[in-house]
Structure formats: C-alpha cells, structure tokens
Amino acid sequence: MMISLRDVTVRYCDTVAVDGITLDLEPGKIYGLLGRNGSGKTSLLSVLASYRRPSAGTVTIDGTDPFENSALMRDTAFIRDSLDVTDQDRIAKVLDVAGRLRPTWDADYAEHLVDVFALEPRRRVSALSRGQRSSLGVVLGLAARAPLTILDEVYLGMDAAARTAFYRELLGDYLAHPRTIILSTHLIEEVAGLFEQVIVIDRGRLLLHEDTDTFKARGVAVTGPAAAVEAFVAGRTVLSEQALGGVRQATLYGALDHDEVVRAETAGLTLAPVGVQDLFVHLTSGAAEGTPRTEARR
Amino acid sequence: MFDDRSPIYLQIANGIKDEVLSGALKEDEQIMSTNQYAAFYQINPATAAKGFAQLVEEGVLYKKRGIGMFVSPDARQRLRSRRRERFFADVVDPMLAEARMVGIDVDEIAAYLKGGS
C-alpha cells in the first residue's frame, strides 16, 4: 500500500500538533519516525492509521481515503500507549479477541512472542508492569501481520534485554513477512540499523525523510586550530561548536564531497562522523522539551 | 561488527572483499542471502542488498537469477591487483610520514625490514 500525505495538519484547540506535513511512504519498508517528546509523532501516526482525520490536508492509501474504510482498517495495526484493550481482560482473552478481529492474525506466532517476553496468559492487563504492557503491545502489533503496522514507542518500560528481543523479532518477522512497518522512537542509536528510511519531525514539521545511510552521512565533526576551523566552516550549516584552548570543534550538517575532504585535511583539520543520536539532538534542540507550537506564537 | 564511521553497506561490501582476499570465500562459492545477512547482523535487508549491489557492480559477485549471489571466478585476482596498486599510497606513505615526523630515516626502516636492527 502506497501512503501519501498532503499538507496534513492536526490541531487541538489552538495548539498545532502536526503542521503541514507532506510525505510519501512506499510499501514494504521499515520506517523510523524520530522526534522528541511533544514533536507530534503520535498525532501524525494517528492520522496515518486513520484513527483521526487531519484538521486540514489529505491522506490517501493506494489513492483512496482510508478514514472509516473497513477493508483498509483491517489491514492496519496501530499500537499506541493505551493499547486499546479492556484492562480487566486476561492476556489470553485479549489475544483471542485480536485473533477473531484480524484475518491476518497468526496465533502460533502470538504464542511464541508471549513466551519470548515471558508474559503470563492468565494475568489481567490491569496487573501488568509498564514493560509487560509494552511487550503485550508488541505481541498485538507483530502477530497481527497487518500490511500497515504502526508501533508508537512500544518499547516504553522495557529493559535492554526485552528491547533486544523486540528488535530481533521485528526484523525476523519482517524478513519472513515483508510489510510496511513504522516505528516511532527516540532511542535512535540502538535501532537505526533496522530502518530503511528515517523520518524526522520537530515541532509538528517534517525536518527530513531519507535513507538511513544518507542520514548517517549528514553529520561531520571538524576539529583543528580555531582559525582553520572558522575558515573552513564559513558559509555552512553549523549545528554546534565547542572550544578547548586553541582547538575548536564544529559539527556541520551536510555531507562533504571529496574535494572538500582534501581541502580540510590539507588545512590540518580532522574530520569525524557524528552518531545518529547526536545528529538528531543537534537537529531538534531548538526548543525545550514538550513546548508545543501554538497559533499565537507563530 | 559495524562502526559508526562509514555507511553500513560499505562496511558489508568491504567485509566480503576481505573474506574473498583471505580465501575464506572461494571463487564460485555462494554467499549468504540478503535475508540471512540481515538476520545475522541485525540490519535492514535493503542495506545488505545495497552492499551486495555494490559488489556486483565492481565485479566481485555475480547473480544467478532465483538462486543467489556467488563470488566471481576472477574476484580474488582482481581485488589483489587493485589493493596492490594502492598498497604504497595507502600503507607505505603514511608510515613514511610518521617516520619523518619522529626522525626515523629510510635506512633505519630498511634495516628493520631486513631483520637487521
């Protein structure tokens, strides 16, 4: 399924959560949606999953409007914080209900995942820890085998071992059953390798959407004598700078071509890549966490 | 396995080249599929495929439709001659630059190489 967003905006009263995003998602890839808390990730995913209509703009899946389209909704699994299950139910019942609602549900795989995450089927949802709740979300999301699978920060509360198991299962099941998977996260470093493409949003706006390798090559740290660094970075996008004595380090945005690399090295400068987590922080650190844009502030 | 310094697909391609050079991968031997590679190294299969595509373009691997990827018959020879061409520029020149900086002259290096020092 080809997903197209055109100028999608989501407003809550006078707060703009998603601000004119245009995006095309080709089928069968794993996407990473990156953004800080309050950047609009969940609102954007809710629109992608047709859980809500955009305040303005359009969403189409294979050319048709997915909102209240039951066939497309059956093909979409959206796992969000609330899990959309009955808290009083036991896990076994929750999985049973999911199996009856979804034609693509794989009960054997669900059972396997319950084992992997050491979930107790007789436990009630209300009695689960934060991490167990998240694990149940992963079971519901992956065993649904939905052509469009959207997982919104499903790792919350999971320890490192559970997250590793989650990534392994996600990739393994994707390899066996390719489909579109969108995973939102801010733990970028540990999952970046799984993403074919990354989408970065900040304060409701699309910052970039590109291949993960392209994204990774975007940041370069230039270190050397202050004057040489200053001369080299003039006219470029500098994300951050720091100085130690006469040595200066500038983090640049934008890949350098071969000539520029040679020029930097001739000038006695050292070039180093910037990790994806650092790059993300530099790109999105314009405002304090959780500061939403409002109409009044624009 | 992978560092942060270069794109993962290039690291995959370089890793396979090293295996061909060392003889760990033989000519006409089948290599792992992109899916096996992805599962083993926990990376997106598109990234593995990009690394393989690079090697096909360079003539290190060839594709048999519906079966998989294989090491080209002349891959080892070709990689060897390419690396030999670059040996002095990539390996010896940096060593000489370092030697010059710390005051070691060429005679001293030659004596060391001959086992005399």
Give the chain B residue nearest A213 (alpha carbons).
B7
**Residues in chain A closer than 8 A to B8 (CB atoms):** 193, 213
Residue pair B16/B41 in contact by the 8 Å Cβ criterion: no
Residues A110 and A130 in one domain: yes
pLDDT of res. B5:
58
Q: In angstroms, rounded to a whole number, what is the distance separating the alpha carbons of residues A172 and A186?
A: 22
Give the chain B residue nearest A30 (alpha carbons).
B44
Domain boundary among A194, A214, A234: A214
CATH code (residue A143): 3.40.50.300
CB of B107 less than 8 A from some CB of A: no
Residues A221 and A112 in one domain: no
Residues A142 and A222 in one domain: no
Residue A126: pLDDT above 70? yes
Domain boundaries of chain B, sorted by first residue: 8-74, 76-113
Domain boundary among A157, A191, A214: A214
pLDDT of res. B4:
57
Domain boundary among A162, A186, A214: A214
Consecutive H or E run containing A141: helix A130-143
Q: Which domain holds residue A259?
A: 217-284
Helix (H, G, I), strand (E, B) or coil at B6: coil
Among B1, B2, B4, B5, most A C-beta atoms within 10 A, so best to mutate, is B4
Does any domain span residue A91?
A: yes
Does any domain span residue A125?
A: yes
Give the chain B residue nearest A192 (alpha carbons).
B43
pLDDT of res. A277:
83
Q: In terms of Cα–Cα distance, which of A140, A171, A173, A174 is closest to A154?
A: A140
Longest dimension (CA), chain A: 68
pTM of the model: 0.85
Nearest-10 crossing angle of helices B8-22, B75-87: 100
pLDDT of res. B1:
53
pLDDT of res. A257:
84
Does any domain span residue A151?
A: yes
Residues A27 and A167 in one domain: yes
Residues A56 and A190 in one domain: yes
Residues A222 and A74 in one domain: no
Residue A294: pLDDT above 90? no
Consecutive H or E run containing A214: helix A212-216
Residue A295: pLDDT above 50? no
Compute CA distances A46 → A40, A66, B80, whole Å: 10, 12, 54
Give the number of domains in chain A.
Answer: 2
pLDDT band at A17; cut points 50, 70, 90: very high
Residues A70 and A23 in one domain: yes
pLDDT < 50: residue spans in chain B:
none
pLDDT of res. A201:
94
> Cα distance from A214 to chain B (closest Cα, Å)?
8
> Cα distance from A296 to chain B (closest Cα, Å)?
42
Its ipTM equals 0.80
Q: Test B9 with A213 for CB contact under 8 angstroms.
A: yes
| Digit-coded pLDDT (tens) for B35-48 | 999 999 999 999 99
**How large is the average pLDDT for residues A224-234?**
92
Residue pair A3/A209 in contact by the 8 Å Cβ criterion: no
| Digit-coded pLDDT (tens) for A139-165 | 999 999 999 999 999 999 999 999 999
pLDDT band at A190; cut points 50, 70, 90: confident
Longest dimension (CA), chain B: 59
Exposed e or buried b for every residue in A181-202, given b needs 16+ CB within 10 A?
bbbbbbebeebbbbbbbbbbbb
pLDDT of res. A43:
95
Residues A119 and A203 in one domain: yes
B8-74 folds as Arc Repressor Mutant, subunit A (1.10.10)
